[in-house]
Amino acid sequence: MELTLVLIFIIGYTAISFEHALKIDKLIPALLMMTLSWALIAFFAQDPHVLGEHLLHHFGKTTEILIFLMGAMAIVEMIDYFDGFKSVQALIKVKTAYQLLIVVSVLAFVLSAIIDNLTATIVLISILRKMVPDKELRIWMAGFVIIAANAGGAWSPIGDVTTTMLWIAGKVSSMKLIEHIFLPAVVTLAIPLAIATKISIFKTKLPERQEITKSKVAGFILISGLALIIFVPIFKTITHLPPYMGMMFSLAVFAVIGEIASKRQLNLSSLDEQNQGGHTGPTLKALSKIEMPSILFFLGILMTVAGMEELGMIEQLGENVLAAGISQEVYITFLGLASAIIDNVPLVAASIGMFKDGMDADAWHFIAYTAGTGGSILIIGSAAGVVAMGMENIGFGWYLKRISLLALAGYIGGVLTFLLL
């Protein structure tokens, strides 16, 4: 049965890796993997009632992550509804390409720690489209945005799906994660930026900027939304409730702010307005724009790995790694390199089941760093890379020739910094 389960995972993940060639959304093989795996486990289960309890346990842990992500996505969509991110664009006043590269990279690094690396990438590339008409220069900058967003997401519990998974699973705490990962993450971005001073395309001047029109409350909404997302770890610390409860609290408060800002009555659940052709408020619009395919993809991946964990396969893999004499540091370093090819979500999910280290052990912080930043080495290695690839039509070969070595240099620098610390 174990071999069949592994075969299902390999076939499913191959289909996910070649989704563009096969022209199918990655959520389809992910959901098929999940259902086939648990159907196989159920077929051989001795006690269906006990299996049902275990399935509910795994589903509960997975749902905590998904509800958290949905809340964060809704808040970000509401910020965008009020042109909040245009306030960021209005603050950028530079004259040369390298100056813009520095500003955009720093913004990606900071924003990804707050609104997650995928959303930060979308926001920054959208800004670059308005400020950089030259296609070649823009995709160079998009490559640096990927590196910066993944580095920024690694040191925040809400910056990347994998760090969120580790945080919700009780493997890392917010402050310890920032304390251990921030400096390596800075090095990961600083090395490519230092090398960029020698790249000729960044020595050009930028055209005159155009006037930016935005909502009157854009700045207020941006600050409110970001502050409420940052409040989530504080809520967890105060109440000791799971992180998704804090995110739901922040979403509720932000929904009230959004409804007041849109000068509508506080009616957050009325669908009749939309059916009658009336104005739909920011809350409903934000909820309708949540990336449900991504949510279902994560559901499929995490529950498939949970099936392997149910059979003890993940724990056995960890024991085999340690028995082979491979140190945790070497394994985790290669885990980061592997995340450039294999999605980091199943890698981290497997690692959570492999190691038994206590909360805030060095291993968990190192996993957070390597899984978060290693994906930058290839454009298909992270959600930020894939979305940039789609938005700017960046070729796999182009990225491999121009950005991959820069990302690898930053990754190695970050690994060495972490180990020295």
- What is the helix (H) or strand (E) element at residue 184, kind and residue range? helix 174-196
Lowest model confidence (mean pLDDT) among 165-169, 218-222, 284-288: 284-288
Phi, psi of 205 (to 5 degrees): -95, 155
pLDDT score at 237: 85
Which token pair is 327?
A: 């140190």
d(CA 421, CA 414): 10
Binned at pLDDT 50, 70 and 90, residue 22 comes out as: confident
Q: What is the chain's alpha carbon radius of gyration, rounded to the nearest angstrom?
A: 22
Q: 3-state class of 205 per DSSP?
A: strand
116 compared with 195, residue with greater pLDDT: 195
pLDDT score at 305: 81
DSSP H helical ranges for 197-291: 218-239, 243-261, 272-275, 282-288
Decide: 368 and 166 in contact? Cβ < 8 Å. yes
Lowest model confidence (mean pLDDT) among 70-84, 96-110, 237-251: 70-84
Q: Which of 87-96, 99-108, 306-315 has the highest mean pLDDT?
A: 99-108
Q: Identify each DSSP E strand in 273-348 by its residue range.
A: none
Find the helix packing angle between 174-196 and 135-154, rounded to 10°.
150
Q: Can you name the residues that pair with 205 across neighbouring β-strands?
A: 96
Q: Which of 206-215, 298-307, 359-368 has the highest mean pLDDT?
A: 359-368
Q: Can you name the residues that pair with 96 across neighbouring β-strands?
A: 205
Phi, psi of 149 (to 5 degrees): -65, -40
- What is the helix (H) or strand (E) element at residue 154, kind and residue range? helix 135-154
Q: Where along the chain do its domains lie? A: 2-420
Mapping DSSP onto H, E and C, the string for 78-109 reads HHHHCCHHHHHHHHCCCCEHHHHHHHHHHHHH
pLDDT score at 280: 64
Q: Which of 110-114, 307-311, 376-380 has the highest mean pLDDT?
A: 110-114
Binned at pLDDT 50, 70 and 90, residue 21 comes out as: confident
